Amino acid sequence: MSKKQRILLFGGTFNPIHNAHLAVSRSAVDQLSIDRLIFIPSAKPPHKLGRDIASFEDRMNMCDIATFKDDSSRVCDCEYYRDGPSFTIDTINHMRLVFGVEDEIFWLIGADTIKELPSWYKIDEVDAMGGGVTLADQYPPFCRYVLVYKAIEPNAGPV
* pLDDT higher at 131 or 137: 131
Of 114, 104, 101, 109, the closest CA to residue 141 belongs to 114
The Cβ-side half-sphere exposure at 89, using a 13 Å CA radius, reads: 14
- How many domains does the chain divide into? 1
Question: Does residue 157 fall inside a structural domain?
Answer: no
Q: What is the CATH number of the domain that holds 13?
A: 3.40.50.620
pLDDT in tens, 111-127: 778 888 888 899 889 88
Give me the domain span that covers residue 19. 6-147
Q: How confident is the model at residue 139 (pLDDT cuts 50, 70, 90)?
A: low
pLDDT in tens, 39-66: 999 998 887 777 899 999 999 999 999 9
Question: Does residue 153 fall inside a structural domain?
Answer: no
Question: Does residue 159 fall inside a structural domain?
Answer: no
Note the pTM of the prediction, 2 decimals: 0.87
3-7, 9-13, 45-49, 60-64: range with lowest mean pLDDT: 45-49
- What average pLDDT does this structure show over 131-137? 76
Question: Does residue 1 fall inside a structural domain?
Answer: no
